[in-house]
Every structure is written in C-alpha cells, then in structure tokens.
Structure 1
Amino acid sequence: MAQYGRLVGIDVGTKWFGIARSDLLRTVANPVGTYGSDEVFNKLEELVENEQVTKMVVGWPLTPAGEEGRAIKMVRKFLERFREHFPDMEVVKVDERYTSKEAVRAMVEAGVPKMKRRESDRINQAAAAIILQKYIEFEKSENVRITDRYV
C-alpha cells in the first residue's frame, strides 16, 4: 500500500542545517535549502504547516565502523529541540555516512562548477536530499533490513 504525505529530510550540522522534502507520493527527494540554527525551526514549521508533512528523516552520524560517533551528541541536542516544536511528529534516523561525499559527487556529475560545489549550503541541502532518498528507497524495498532504526 503506497503511503501519501511528504517526508522531510534534515542534515544536522554545527551551524547549518540542510533540508530536503519528498513529493507527496514519496518517490523522490529534492533539496529545499540550507538554514542556520536560528532559522531552521521556522522553516520546519512552515513546511509542516503548508506541505502535508507526515514524517521527519534525520541523518544519524555513524562512524565508518557503524558505531555512534561524536556528532551524535549534536544531533541528539537538535532532536530534543525538535520534540519541543513537534511533539507528535514521527522521526526516523538514517545512517548518514558518506552523504557529504555523495553530495559532492552528484554535483560533479550534474556539472556544478567547482567554486559552487565548495559552498557548504549546497552540500548541506544535497546531503539532506541524499539522506531522504535513502529512506524513500528503504520504504519501497522489502529486502532491506533495519537494525536499531538505522537505515
């Protein structure tokens, strides 16, 4: 049974947060933008209010060995603030290893000039789209196994 309603993907950073959203049928993720810590919740509230958002997908920074890394603390802090704004919104954590590298590679393949690829706002929002797309692909597949809620 197909699910309906948008998913929002978030790439949590120290200063900048990349945001992406899916289409209503949850087939593809598209970057929305990059926002500072002082504006990210305003943007999320706008999306939830106007875009039929049913679930948030947050990048979970695992180490190359698959363990929780130091950046987990930063994401947990974000999720605590998130719960204050959206106490009933479902949140899924997705393994975000290598998403920034994948974002740069995707920009190279798309022909984005080198100087523009260095702009962290482009990388953050592209990484959010990759995180979200990973989850969309997971939702479509019955063959993928989730361990401890990491996709």
Structure 2
Amino acid sequence: MGRILAIDYGTKRIGLAVTDEMRMIAFGLTTVETSNIFSFLTDYFKKEHVSLIVVGEPKQMDNSASESEMYIQPFVEKLKTVFPTIEIERHDERFTSKMAFQTMIDGGLKKKHRKNKALIDEISATIILQSYLGKSGI
C-alpha cells in the first residue's frame, strides 16, 4: 500500500501533503510553483511509493463547480496521462484556505508568517488530505 498525496491546486502555487506509509497521518509536504509540479512529482514518485493522488475539488455553496475548476480539470487530465498507474480522486476543498488561515492563528503564528501564501497552500493540502482520510475511513 502506497502513500496518499493531496494536491491543493493553484495557478501560481500548488500545496502538497502526504500520508505516512500506513496512511494514518497526514502532514504537509511542501509548496511547488505550478510550472514545476510535474518535474517535482516525477522526482518524488521515484523516491516514494504513492498509490493515490487526491486533488482538491473547489465547489460553490450550492455544490456547483467553482470557477477555478476550469484550471484544475486540465491539470487532472494531465496527471492521468503522465502518471497512468496512480489512482486519482477528487475531494471537496470548500473552506480549506480559511481553515488553514485559522489554523495558523490558533497555532500562534505571528502576522508576518500568516501572510506566507505558500504555507497556507501547504496547510490547505493537509486539511484536504485529513478530510479525505476521515471520510474514506482509511
């Protein structure tokens, strides 16, 4: 059984989170510039066994697709093409950025550090992954 990698997609940066090998704990991995994501993932997959990628699925309050879905869908299709042996699932990511920001406040991060958008993206990916683990019962 391989790790699960979660992706919080953004047009500038992508937040990444991953589970341990037992798929019990989700933790932030890093943030990568969107233009470098496929080279980063190729290198990462050479070092670590990942059997599932969970990509955040932004939705509106009425459950319809968010405007950013038009950028994410082509990305997901390319993931499927470049990494055909890795299963890909989508998971609702509503409110993850707000939850990430609140997590930073609750964790006592100073205002200067809370402005770090890359950290917010990484925490958002971690929240997506934790939510996925909780829902799927893994």
Q: Same fold (TM over 0.5)?
A: yes
Match of 1:40 among 21, 37, 59: 37
Counterpart-to-counterpart distance in 2, 1:140 and 1:113: 35
1:104: how far off?
A: 0.7
Equivalent residue of 1:38, what SS?
A: helix
Alpha-carbon distance between aligned partners in 1 of 2:28 and 2:47, rounded to the nearest angstrom:
17
Paired amino acid for 1:39 = N
State, as a whole percentage, how many aligned pairs show the same letter.
32
Counterparts in 2 of 1:96-107, with a 5 A limit? Answer: 96-107=93-104
Please identify, of 107-116 and 16-25, the stretch whose mean Cα deviation from structure 2 is larger: 107-116
Q: Distance in 1 between matches of 2:95 and 2:112?
A: 21
Alignment partners' CA distance in 2, 1:92 and 1:82: 11
2:122 to 122, 125, 134: 125
Q: CA RMSD in A?
A: 1.2
**C-alpha separation between the residues in 1 aligned to 2:4 and 2:44?**
10
AA in 2 matched with 1:56: I
How many residues are aligned here?
A: 138
Structure 2, unpaired ranges of 5+: none
In the aligned structure 2, how far is the partner of 1:46 from the partner of 1:134?
Answer: 26
Normalised TM-score (structure 2): 0.94
AA partner of residue 50 (structure 1): K
Q: Point out the structure with the larger helix share.
A: 2
Q: TM-score scaled by structure 1?
A: 0.86
| Aligned pair partner of 2:69 in 72, 75, 88 | 72
Q: Does 1:89 align with 2:86?
A: yes
Unaligned runs of 5+ in 1: 142-151
- Structure 1's consecutive aligned runs of 4 or more residues displaced over 4 angstroms after TM superposition are none
| Cα displacement string for residues 42-95 of structure 1 (whole angstroms, at most 9, x for unaligned residues) | 221122221111100000010122111111111101112212310221011000
The answer to whether structure 1 residue 140 and structure 2 residue 119 are counterparts is no
